[in-house]
A and B are shown apart, each in its own frame.
Chain A
Amino acid sequence: MELAKMLRRGDVSAREITQSVFKKIDEREKSINAFITTTREIAFKQADLADAKFRQGGDIPLLTGIPVAVKDLLCTKGIKTTCGSRILEDFVPTYNATAYQNILDAGAVLVGKTNMDEFGMGSSTENSIAGPTRNPHDLERVAGGSSGGSAAAVSSGESILALGTDTGGSIRQPSAFCGVTGIKPTYGRVSRYGLVAYASSLDQIGAIGKTVADCAMMLNVISGHDKLDTTSANVKTPDFLKALTQGIDGVRIGIPEEFFTEGLDPQIKEKVLDAVHLLEKNGAFVVPINLPHSPYAISAYYLIATAEASSNLARFDGVKYGFRNAGDITDCMEMYLKTRTKGFGMEVKRRIMLGTYVLSAGYYDAYYLKAQKARKLIKGDFDEAFKKVDCIMTPVTPCLPFALGEKMTDPLQMYLVDIYTVSLNLAGLPGMSLPCSKINDLPVGLQIVGKPFDEEMILRVGAAYERLAAAGR
């Protein structure tokens, strides 16, 4: 956001910004590994185009000339889109995802495609064909996931902004781990067209930046109904930047009891509650609330997400595109088997198998339908709570960024990292993660949850918190 202003004043050129970003990439990418593909040539071309526009003057979109990194789960025409998977290692899409097209139209500069857990399945960006992304704050620790590359790139200065996707916390959790700000909008706010589906009813594209204003600026560009995605909502996109200055006088903040109980690192609890108190001291009301069905969120999530994933990933069969095990086969079935066995990583295969089981005859009612019922109840909890409050505040993660490899052998522990984020996806609600201080030099995230299509409230409260925290009040 600052850069957008500087560009307009002529203090800096888009080329200079792009140069600084690629300088950071040259310095730090080797150790951080935030990108699967960098697009240096494209970036400078786009930067020069942006500078030409600034020279011409006139009404120029705010995003013009700003470097953006795009998660490798979004299709980019003519640019490799791997989804972090061997099965799409050399896949080059023939079309652009709508969200990516929108930022292109707004004049953004593409830095590259960021690293991620394969198909978005993971919480640490360790499940990638490109190897793990490391946390810029501590290279021995994970960046979080699955949009770990996007969060790490913004955190390290390898990009200014980034697009991520969030199915169970994949924007908010890495944002928290990397000390940046990330927003997952309401389900339906941003078109999913061109987002390679992990779990269609939960996936949502969102923005990562250094500040709340960064997120608002990006959200202005990527939001809106898309005829190519019938699940994208036909609602008006407000000017999200306008929400930032509205203050928090009289805003009612809900604190769900269930999100501050056992399993949460007490130091994180303290920092999050400090943030809440800071807002309370400055004019907000704090209201204790209950979300009684939240203990079922993780289970419901892993049943629904894996069920959808098992079907969504069926198209990767070696027939049309991507990796194919062509030799050493006698028939088509064997080609499928070998292609998918070799093409997918462990975690993806685990989730495909889980999901296949969940949808199988005889188990559908017990698992899938039951999970859908739990999902309704979880959403009902939020609806109830939002009768009393304007937004809800919770931690983003129960723990600080963990060491590389620490949870790789225990998937269940890994799944639990998403405990505070998944219920928003199940309920379709918008949520933002923003940094609230540090513990042992490691960032802590604060999650603000809003009503459906009320991202403005989240941004408003988030911006107020930023101001207050910066002022040290």
Chain B
Amino acid sequence: MEYDAVICFETHVELKTETKLFCNCRVAYDIPPNTEICPVCTGQPGALPVLNKKAVEYAISAGVALDCTINRRSRFARKNYFYPDLPKGYQISQYELPFCENGYLEITGDDGKPYPVGIKRIHLEEDAGKLVHSSDSFDDADYSLVDYNRSSIPLLEIVGDHERNPLRSVQEARAYLEKLRQILRYIGVSDCKMEKGQLRCDVNLSLRPKGTIEFSNRTEVKNMSSFRFMMEALEYEMKRQAEILDSGGTIEQETLHFDEIKRITRPMRSKEDAPDYRYFPDPDLLEVNLEDEFITDIKSALPELPHQRVKRIMDEYAIPRDDALILTKERAVSDYFTACASHCEDPRKLSHWIIKELFKLLKEASSAIAECPIEPKNCAELVNLVSRGKVTPGIGREILEEMFKSGEEPEAIIHKKGLKPIQNEDQLEAFLDDVMNENPKVVSQIKEGNLKPIDFLVGQVMRKTRGKADPKSVIKLIHRKLEVP
């Protein structure tokens, strides 16, 4: 039978506030264990949480960016369970009255149409510490150590809505996560580095016969650590569920774990074993009442979102949509592009140069645009020189490489390296004459009316001039000299 998939994410994102959610310890990575801890984030007796306002601001920013309703009244709740990385025996989270509800995130669906994926709620909670086991698993370990540096780092949980436009395929799932990550990076609330655990996701999946609307039992796959594993887990799980349904079985509602080595999902616990978290309002924290002003301030300070920027780049600079999408994928790239564009005579050419040439250099150097040594003004200037015909594209590439190495201005490099194009027609003609003398057969072919080998001649001239000739001028010259139309 054919099935429709219903896919929903619960995404956890670590916010990049300076301090933790309930104390003044720094949010820091790659530091020695247990060096950013205090009585509050290690659950010492008598210690009390104090809410970090910046984290609330970030949560509201995310809510606004994802078109959520912002609750004026919000509250924290305790989620009670025992685990050694959870110092208080409960996690301060939100249950009733989260900060944000009923939003959506628009992706391009598999059918190519815009598809607004429902977001049920966004709430703020604290992260747990990290366990380090003496062997691969907790159960086999002789001992385990706990690092509380991560304890109480603010986490944003973004919960998908399986009733309002859930995701329908693995591709859409990927598009959703990529878009979510892009938006959160744009608004600057998280770096969302999956390898650092700053973005983690659980995914719910159920299948229903094609075209039907009832939901069937779903499984939840916990804590996948990369996009690749997420896609693999989903694919595996879709196949597994379809096989069970095809053979007349029912899906067990359970929580699964993706085995990254064997590439299969394995049960963690069934519905019967589902823990009872005994949520209740945290009496240590007051209800949060958000002033309208607080929310409007956040709204007005919200940076341009990816889709807005795509539109602006298309409209303002006449960049085709596909290129605009590439340029806006990361905020830093689009910032760079717009910074260049204000100095550039041909933004379209600029976009090609960034996407083709600059990206290549960045990739080779495995470096990010933020570290690019080329001043936007200089990048624009180079493109201007090319479009004015002052340098040939080939020389342009050479100059760009040099700029990437030294950070120098294009004019300086041209001067230093003697890369000025051959403007003098006599000089150019001399080069062309040499080439024609070396290739009499080709010349006669062209004279007979076969124009194809012209390109070959141009190439030869370029080689002789080490790229300093302008190909257009060379072509013109060939036409004139050989008297072909």
Contacts and interface: CB of A to CB of B under 8 A. Distances in A.
Interface of A: 74-75, 81, 83, 88, 91, 93-95, 97, 192-197, 199-201, 227-231, 307-308, 310-311, 313-317, 319-321, 331-333, 336, 356, 359-361, 364, 368
B50 A230 contact: yes
B144 to A, nearest CB: 8
Given A230-B286, A311-B278, 20 more contacts: A93-B45, A95-B39, A196-B46, A197-B46, A200-B283, A230-B49, A230-B51, A230-B285, A231-B284, A231-B285, A231-B286, A311-B78, A311-B80, A315-B89, A316-B45, A317-B84, A317-B89, A319-B87, A359-B80, A360-B278
Contacts of B88: 314-315
Nearest to A73: B46
Interface string B64-102: 000000000000001010101001111000000000000
A197 B45 CA distance: 7
Which of B43, B139, B280: most chain A CB closer than 10 A? B280
A319 B146 contact: yes
Nearest to A74: B46
B139 A319 contact: no
Interface of B: 39, 42-51, 78, 80, 82, 84, 87-90, 138-139, 144, 146, 276, 278-280, 283-286
A195 B48 CA distance: 9
Contacts of A195: 46
B411 to A, nearest CB: 58
Contacts of A332: 84, 138, 144
Given A315-B88, A331-B139, A368-B280, A228 B43 contact: no
B21 to A, nearest CB: 13
Contacts of B138: 332
Which of A230, A313, A314, A336: most chain B CB closer than 10 A? A314
27 contacts: A74-B46, A91-B45, A93-B45, A192-B46, A193-B46, A194-B46, A194-B47, A196-B45, A197-B45, A200-B284, A227-B50, A228-B48, A230-B48, A230-B51, A230-B284, A231-B284, A308-B280, A310-B80, A311-B78, A311-B280, A315-B45, A315-B87, A320-B44, A321-B45, A359-B280, A361-B278, A364-B280
Contacts of B89: 311, 313-317
Contacts of B283: 199-201, 231, 308
Contacts of B285: 230-231
Identify whether the interface residues of B are mostly helix, strand, loop, or mixed: loop
A361 B284 CA distance: 22
Given A332-B84, A360-B278, A311 B46 contact: no
A95 B50 contact: no
Contacts of B48: 192-193, 228-231
Contacts of A333: 82
A361 B95 CA distance: 14
Contact of B43 (A75, A88, A97, A315): A315
Contacts of A88: 45
A194 B46 CA distance: 4
A193 B278 contact: no
A321 B50 contact: no
Contacts of A194: 46-47
A63 B80 CA distance: 42
Nearest to B146: A319
B485 to A, nearest CB: 85
Given A311-B78, A332-B84, A95 B45 contact: no
Identify whether the interface residues of A are mostly helix, strand, loop, or mixed: loop
The 8 closest A-B CB pairs, nearest first, are A314-B89, A359-B278, A201-B283, A200-B283, A196-B45, A194-B46, A315-B43, A196-B46
A308 B283 CA distance: 8
A10 B122 CA distance: 65
Contacts of A93: 39, 44-46
B276 A361 contact: yes
Contacts of B280: 307-308, 311, 359, 364, 368
Nearest to A361: B276
B280 to A, nearest CB: 6
A165 B269 CA distance: 42
Nearest to B79: A311
A94 B278 contact: no
A332 B84 CA distance: 8
B80 A321 contact: no
A355 to B, nearest CB: 9
A193 to B, nearest CB: 5
A95 B285 CA distance: 21
Contacts of A359: 80, 278-280
B44 A228 contact: no
Nearest to A232: B48
A195 B283 CA distance: 14
Contacts of A196: 45-46
A336 B82 CA distance: 9
B51 A319 contact: no
B410 to A, nearest CB: 56
A317 B82 contact: yes
A228 B139 contact: no
A201 B87 CA distance: 21
A231 B285 CA distance: 7
Contacts of A97: 46
Contacts of A308: 280, 283
Contact of A228 (B50, B78, B82, B90): B50
B80 A314 contact: yes
A305 to B, nearest CB: 11
Nearest to B40: A228
Contact of A94 (B44, B146, B276): B44
Nearest to B81: A314
A314 B280 CA distance: 14
A307 B285 CA distance: 16
Nearest to B274: A361
B110 to A, nearest CB: 38
Given A95-B39, A360-B278, A361-B276, A75 B80 contact: no
Contacts of A201: 283
A231 to B, nearest CB: 6
A235 B80 CA distance: 33
Contact of B47 (A74, A193, A310, A356): A193
Contacts of A316: 45, 89
Which of B48, B144, B146: most chain A CB closer than 10 A? B48
Nearest to B83: A332
A83 B285 CA distance: 23
A466 B278 CA distance: 48
Contacts of A230: 48-51, 284-286
Which of B42, B283, B284: most chain A CB closer than 10 A? B283
A172 B82 CA distance: 35
Nearest to B51: A230
Contact of B276 (A81, A228, A360, A368): A360
Contacts of A231: 48, 283-286
B314 to A, nearest CB: 48
A326 to B, nearest CB: 11
Which of B39, B46, B50, B51: most chain A CB closer than 10 A? B46
Given A227-B50, A228-B50, A311-B90, A95 B44 contact: yes
A364 B80 CA distance: 14
A74 B45 CA distance: 9
A233 B89 CA distance: 27
